[in-house]
Amino acid sequence: MLRHTASGLGSSVARQVSGPTERVVVVGAGLGGLACAIRLAGAGRTVTVLERDDGPGGRAGRLALDGYEFDTGPTVLTMPSLVADVLATVDEDLTAWLDLTKLDPAYRAHFADGSTLDVIADTARMAGEVARVCGPREADGYLRFVDHTRRLWRLERDDFIDRNLDGPRDLLTANLVRLALAGGFGRLQPLINRFFRDPRTRRIFSFQAMYAGVAPHQALALYAVIAYLDSVAGVYFPRGGIHAVPRALAGVAEKHGVTIQYGAHVTRVEVRGGRATGVLLEDGQRIPADVVVLNPDLPVAYRDLLPPARMRPLRYSPSCVVLHAGSSQGYADIAHHNIHFGRSWRSAFDEVINQGRLMSDPSLLVTNPTRTDPALAPEGKHTYYVLAPTPNLDTQQFGRRLDWRGSLAGTYRSELIATLEQRGYVGFGDGIEVSRFVTPADWADQGLAGGTPFAAAHTFRQTGPFRPGNLHPALDNVVFVGSGTQPGVGVPMVLISGRLAAERVTGAAR
């Protein structure tokens, strides 16, 4: 009685936009918008990208200060194959557009007891490093962890990430069953604790849950794949910084017929008879469209560009402050990426996520891009990108939110510099020649909901088929792309969102 379909892929055909799809307007030249635009151009559509800034990138932007160049958003690039996949849709080769260096080590972890541990993507060498710092039994646990997460990643990727999900039934696949047999459910921290005994390795392979907006003891075991992606699959740095990625995508898009207008402020999507008919610009221009793809932060796109619609309230990820510093000081004992763990662990997450407080003993990410690409600073100078997690602007303490527009920004900047100096960055404050301090208030001003660059948190109710969908529920031909929609947060997920959005227009290619 069961009809056996030839396809073993999924349960249903993903929904698509209705009506003609010849002329597509993409609002926003972020990584998601550009990836989508290239795929649509490759599928024969006429594509116009409208970007309010004077260059591409969105969150992956560029800050230039007196001869120093800074990435404003992501600093870690994993899975460059996803960029190559986008370029391959128009027969372009990644190596012709980006000069990538694999970072070795991917990270250097610095612990409060003064010890350091290098995270190396080469599994055999990493096992040696873990044995050196934590002993041979811990190294054995690391190797078992790699086997487990590699399997998890393969099972999750095809069926749950790289595919449009319209409902829970779409999850019912053979890989889901295999995932169940592999014991894929449960919490992240207990899973990590099964493989690791040393508190230092436990931190190295679970802190990534923060990227998904959840604490390791609350996150799902599935998020072990984020640790897999950056600590096992490898971290890359393009010459010119991460911003070179959107610049390359914009170059490829234009070469293949996509029109990109910079400085184009879209004020709203024009709607008639339940369909988008085009977009309106601040200067009064109207650009007609068969399909509109929206790359602005999803809640802000709903709020500012679309007709009023009920949206369920979202819970946002924690935010962060970033100190960009151009400096005369160099430090021999650091790597390209450095994580400085504070003494506290569980309480640090709790402070930022639940209590709406700054970390009392902060864990910091310090990136030193000039170590890999000296051209990002004047001769002999250095660039630093210091990131500290903070609450987002929705999280309250005693009914109050942190006020970043007042004196707090200056105070916290000084505190962070003092913390860095205590943790080995001697003379950090004195070495600074140019700097910019970016706070949650600045993220909000850039149009990011909740004042966070990390979008809606990956809670149960905001992940997979429950994450805000990439098809507008009422307007038949409006599609979303970026970290606020499916599949989620991070450069790899955003590049995949470009593919999923394009498939809503053209249908799935497979």
Partner 1 sequence: MTTREAHLVELVDPAGRPIGSSTVDEAHRAPGRLHRAFSVVLVDDGGRILLQQRAAVKTRFALRWANACCGHPQPAEPVTVAAGRRLAEELGLAAVPLTEVGVHLYHALDPATGRVEHEYDHVLFGRLDPATPVHPDPDEVATVTWVSPADLATELSVHEDRFAPWLGGVVDTFSLRVAGLRDS
* DSSP code for 400: B
What does the alpha-carbon distance between residue 332 and residue 334 come to, in Å, rounded to a whole number? Answer: 6
For the CB of residue 312, give the shortest distance to partner 1 in the complex, in Å. Answer: 16
Closest CA to 189 of 209, 171, 173, 174: 209
Where does residue 457 rank: exposed (0-12), middle (13-18), buried (19+ CB within 10 A)? Answer: buried
Whether residue 387 contacts residue 321, with contact meaning beta carbons closer than 8 Å, is answered with yes
Q: Could you say which of 77, 82, 106, 221 contacts partner 1 (CB under 8 A)?
A: 221
Distances (CA, A) of 195 to 123, 221, 229: 15, 13, 17
* Helix, strand, coil distribution of the chain in percent, nearest 5: 40, 20, 40
Nearest CB to partner 1, comparing residues 12 and 396: 12
Q: Could you say which of 86, 103, 130, 179 contacts partner 1 (CB under 8 A)?
A: 179
| Helix, strand or coil, per DSSP, at residue 151 | helix
**Chain Cα centroid distance, residue 112:** 27
Count of residues near partner 1 by CB under 8 A: 36
Nearest CB to partner 1, comparing residues 262 and 466: 466
For the CB of residue 15, give the shortest distance to partner 1 in the complex, in Å. Answer: 13
Q: Could you say which of 2, 54, 398, 407 contacts partner 1 (CB under 8 A)?
A: 2
What does the alpha-carbon distance between residue 119 and residue 235 come to, in Å, rounded to a whole number? Answer: 10
Q: Could you say which of 16, 46, 116, 175 contacts partner 1 (CB under 8 A)?
A: 175
Is residue 170 at the binding interface for partner 1, with CB under 8 A as the rule?
yes
Q: How many alpha carbons fall within 13 Å on the CB side of residue 315?
A: 14
Residues between 184 and 203 with contacts to partner 1, criterion CB under 8 A: 184-185
Binding part of the chain for partner 1, among 21-29, 179-187, 308-316, 335-343 by CB under 8 A, reads 179-187
Q: Could you say which of 105, 362, 464, 469 contacts partner 1 (CB under 8 A)?
A: 464
Whether residue 142 contacts residue 196, with contact meaning beta carbons closer than 8 Å, is answered with yes
For the CB of residue 177, give the shortest distance to partner 1 in the complex, in Å. Answer: 4
Distances (CA, A) of 294 to 85, 164, 301: 21, 17, 7
Q: List, in sequence order, every residue forming a beta bridge with 499; answer none if it has no partner.
A: none
Nearest CB to partner 1, comparing residues 435 and 463: 463
Is residue 143 at the binding interface for partner 1, with CB under 8 A as the rule?
no
Nearest CB to partner 1, comparing residues 7 and 407: 7
For the CB of residue 472, give the shortest distance to partner 1 in the complex, in Å. Answer: 22
What does the alpha-carbon distance between residue 95 and residue 247 come to, in Å, rounded to a whole number? Answer: 14
Is residue 309 at the binding interface for partner 1, with CB under 8 A as the rule?
no
For the CB of residue 6, give the shortest distance to partner 1 in the complex, in Å. Answer: 10
Binding part of the chain for partner 1, among 174-182, 250-258, 303-311, 375-383 by CB under 8 A, reads 174-182
For the CB of residue 289, give the shortest distance to partner 1 in the complex, in Å. Answer: 32
Site track for partner 1 across 466-495, x = CB under 8 A: x-----------------------------
Is residue 151 at the binding interface for partner 1, with CB under 8 A as the rule?
no
* DSSP code for 220: B
Is residue 15 at the binding interface for partner 1, with CB under 8 A as the rule?
no
For the CB of residue 476, give the shortest distance to partner 1 in the complex, in Å. Answer: 21
Closest CA to 457 of 219, 229, 207: 219
In 407-456, DSSP assigns E strands to 432-438
- How many CB atoms sit inside 10 A of residue 13's CB? 12
Closest CA to 300 of 4, 30, 35: 30
Is residue 176 at the binding interface for partner 1, with CB under 8 A as the rule?
yes
Nearest CB to partner 1, comparing residues 4 and 310: 4
Binding part of the chain for partner 1, among 181-189, 267-275, 302-310, 433-441 by CB under 8 A, reads 181-189
Is residue 124 at the binding interface for partner 1, with CB under 8 A as the rule?
no
Distances (CA, A) of 418 to 198, 208, 234, 371: 29, 25, 31, 23
Is residue 3 at the binding interface for partner 1, with CB under 8 A as the rule?
yes
What does the alpha-carbon distance between residue 266 and residue 282 come to, in Å, rounded to a whole number? Answer: 6
Q: List, in sequence order, every residue forming a beta bridge with 326; answer none if it has no partner.
A: 383, 434
Is residue 177 at the binding interface for partner 1, with CB under 8 A as the rule?
yes
Binding part of the chain for partner 1, among 4-12, 45-53, 279-287, 377-385 by CB under 8 A, reads 4-12
Is residue 181 at the binding interface for partner 1, with CB under 8 A as the rule?
yes
For the CB of residue 13, give the shortest distance to partner 1 in the complex, in Å. Answer: 10
| Helix, strand or coil, per DSSP, at residue 403 | coil
Radius of gyration of the chain (CA): 22
Is residue 217 at the binding interface for partner 1, with CB under 8 A as the rule?
no
Whether residue 195 contacts residue 144, with contact meaning beta carbons closer than 8 Å, is answered with yes
Is residue 174 at the binding interface for partner 1, with CB under 8 A as the rule?
yes
Is residue 5 at the binding interface for partner 1, with CB under 8 A as the rule?
yes
Which residues sit at the interface with partner 1, rule CB under 8 A?
A: 1-5, 7-12, 160, 168-181, 184-185, 220-222, 460, 463-466
